[in-house]
Amino acid sequence: MPTVYVLNGPNLNLLGQRQPEIYGSTTLADVERACTDLGRELGLEIRFFQSNHEGVIVDTIHEARHEANAIIINPGALTHTSVAILDALNTFDAPVIEVHISNIHKRESFRHHSYVSLRAEGVIAGLGTHGYLLALRHLAPLVGADQPRP
């Protein structure tokens, strides 16, 4: 069964509590459950990660090089600052989809630039936590998942 790593950056552990007017009331545990359920339906194994530490995210991307068929990444604020995450993603030879819960292009100007976008095959922004599920649906046929499952 193909494996998709779903990586989440700083402060996403506070999803549902932090700035609900921007990010909504869905928690990261809710997102993980939804991704795991949809992954099962699509024939994907989901490995879900969150860290507030850039180096841990880089290490997880390095691990994914040997374990994953695709990555979905919401790097949070590291989107706009981390060349290290970009460099790590550039070593990953499979699809990468960048996800943002909010529309980063409607926010502060410093959020308009993404280093991760330089590597990602696609970017989903502004569709709330549903963006994670859209990314999974897009990736399933690309990684050879046996879909759909009852």
Kindly report, residue by residue over 97-145, the tens digit of the pLDDT.
Answer: 999 998 887 766 766 688 999 999 999 999 999 999 999 999 999 999 8
Q: Which residue has the tokens 């507030």?
A: 52
Q: Which residue positions form the known binding site?
A: 74, 80, 87, 101-102, 111
Q: Which two tokens stand for residue 91?
A: 């070593």
| Cα–Cα separations (whole angstroms), residue 13 to 18, 88, 100 | 9, 22, 14
Given 23, 62, 113, 138, which residue is catalytic? 23
What is the residue extent of each domain of the chain?
Answer: 3-142
How far from chain centre, in Å, is Cα 131?
Answer: 9
Given 5, 62, 100, 112, which residue is catalytic? 100
Report how far apart the first and last C-alpha atoms of the chain are (Å, whole number). 16
Task: Return the DSSP state at 83.
Answer: H
Q: Which two tokens stand for residue 134?
A: 């859209």
Q: Measure the CA–CA gap between 104 and 13, rounded to whole angstroms.
A: 19
Identify the three-state secondary structure at position 87: helix
**Is residue 23 annotated as a catalytic residue, yes or no?**
yes
Which residue type occupies 7?
L
Q: What is the CATH topology of the domain spanning 3-142?
A: Rossmann fold (3.40.50)
pTM: 0.92
